[in-house]
Amino acid sequence: MSVAPPHDAHRAYDRGSLEGAQPNDTTIEAIYAAGHWLLSRERVADAAEVFRVMLKAAPRDERAWLGLGECHERISQPLIALELYGAGTVVAVAVGAPSVRCFLARARMLSKVGRDAEGALDAADAAAERAGDDELIALARRERARLS
């Protein structure tokens, strides 16, 4: 049985850096799928490691911020989750608009820790409008209604 050589992203991670590695979409999808699978099996610490790798490989992918934030939520670290979701609102930019889902996760966490979530909900609405995505607009409206 032959073993395929590790992908550049794997070699770079082993060295502690992804500098110079160009993971492709398939690699990012595989990393996300592994993190999601681990979360679904309640292997939160393992999932967190996978999502950290994903953050290094694809920091603009909102799923990495959301996945790692969820890991911290599950181990009762809401303030860390809140900060991760906040960072995702700045870093995870797609189609010229910030991540609506990161704003919504941030709003949910703000509400959970007893803080005002209105600003994050307003930002989610604005990002959804800027993206021009009807599904994201509807999602932002549903979350606003749920959190209000």
Residue type, 140: A
Mean pLDDT of 33-38: 98
Question: Average pLDDT of the chain?
Answer: 88
Q: Which two tokens stand for residue 9?
A: 């992203």
Percentage of the chain surpassing pLDDT 90? Answer: 79
Whether residue 112 is found in the same domain as residue 76: yes
Domain of residue 25 covers 7-58
Question: Does pLDDT of 140 surpass 70?
Answer: yes
Write down the pLDDT at residue 22.
Answer: 64
Mean pLDDT of 50-63: 96
Q: Which of the pair, 127 or 23, is modelled with greater confidence?
A: 127
Supply the pTM of this predicted model.
Answer: 0.83
Question: Does pLDDT of 11 surpass 50?
Answer: no
Residue 9 banded pLDDT, cuts 50, 70, 90: very low
Mean pLDDT of 76-84: 97
* Backbone dihedral angles phi then psi of residue 22, each to the nearest 5 degrees: -125, 80
Question: Does pLDDT of 124 surpass 70?
Answer: yes
Measure the CA–CA gap between 148 and 137, rounded to whole angstroms.
17
Identify the DSSP state of 95: T
Whether residue 83 is found in the same domain as residue 119: yes
Whether residue 76 is found in the same domain as residue 132: yes
Whether residue 89 is found in the same domain as residue 124: yes
Whether residue 81 is found in the same domain as residue 67: yes
CATH of the domain at 85: 1.25.40
Measure the CA–CA gap between 97 and 133, rounded to whole angstroms.
11
Mean pLDDT of 21-49: 93
Whether residue 54 is found in the same domain as residue 64: no
Which of 58, 77, 96 lies at the terminal end of a domain, its last residue? 58
Write down the pLDDT at residue 19.
Answer: 53
Whether residue 102 is found in the same domain as residue 147: yes
Q: Is residue 145 part of a domain?
A: yes
Distances (CA, A) of 18 to 8, 32, 76, 95: 8, 16, 29, 24
Q: Quote the number of domains for the chain.
A: 2
Mean pLDDT of 78-85: 98
Mean pLDDT of 85-109: 93
Alpha-carbon Rg of the chain, whole angstroms? 16
